[in-house]
Amino acid sequence: MAGGDPYQLLIGVFQLKEEDRLAATVELINNETVVVPRGVLLKESDGFVVMNGAYEGLSPEESDDLKSYVHYRKPVQNWNTNLLTRKDYNYALDFLDTIDLDIPKGCWSVQEQRGGKLYTLKNLYWPGFMAYHVPNTKNWGFLYAGNGRKDIDKKKKEKIKY
């Protein structure tokens, strides 16, 4: 860049390998959708996160509440967010972001299935993602079987409460 502005950004076209694009898409989907029931993971006093061997499942009432599900990722909210929003806060259990705080509000839905014997969660932005929990058991899981495209349809966004 002889004689040019040294602070000018050079914007070029580069080739992105399909495997890199796919890896980035999978990371984005996981970051925004993978959730676990509150209490499944336990933060030990040394900072390590482990599966909670004492986890017995959520009650049916808890299973129907978005506050009872947390993102399976490094927290992005301030550490005291859960402390200020939960009456039953437990530092060992409530160290991850709950999905009820996701923006925009309404991007998650929870459905009662089989007369309250199963609860499923779906993410409005990632069609094909589903998580499930069987109340009062250790049975839970998630699955993504979508096309890898985030759905940002304007009509759906208008229905969401901001």
Q: Which of 101, 92, 97 is nearest to 41 (CA)?
A: 92
Residue that the structure tokens 């040019």 belong to: 4
What's the total number of domains in the chain? 1
Cα–Cα separations (whole angstroms), residue 75 to 26, 30, 82, 108: 18, 13, 11, 18
Which residue range(s) make up the domain with 30? Answer: 18-159
Q: Is residue 24 part of a domain?
A: yes
Q: Is residue 64 part of a domain?
A: yes
Give pLDDT tens digits for 67-101.
999 999 998 888 777 667 777 888 888 889 999 98
Give pLDDT tens digits for 14-36.
778 889 888 999 999 999 999 99
Q: What is the mean pLDDT of the chain?
A: 86
Strand order in the sheet with 129-133: 108-113, 118-123, 129-133, 140-144
- Report yes or no: 109 and 64 within 8 Å, Cβ to Cβ: no
Q: Is residue 70 part of a domain?
A: yes
Tokens standing for residue 144: 């993504």
Q: Is residue 3 part of a domain?
A: no
Q: Is residue 10 part of a domain?
A: no
Task: Tell me the pTM.
Answer: 0.81
Q: Is residue 5 part of a domain?
A: no
Q: Is the pLDDT of residue 121 over 60?
A: yes
Q: Is residue 7 part of a domain?
A: no
Q: Is residue 79 part of a domain?
A: yes
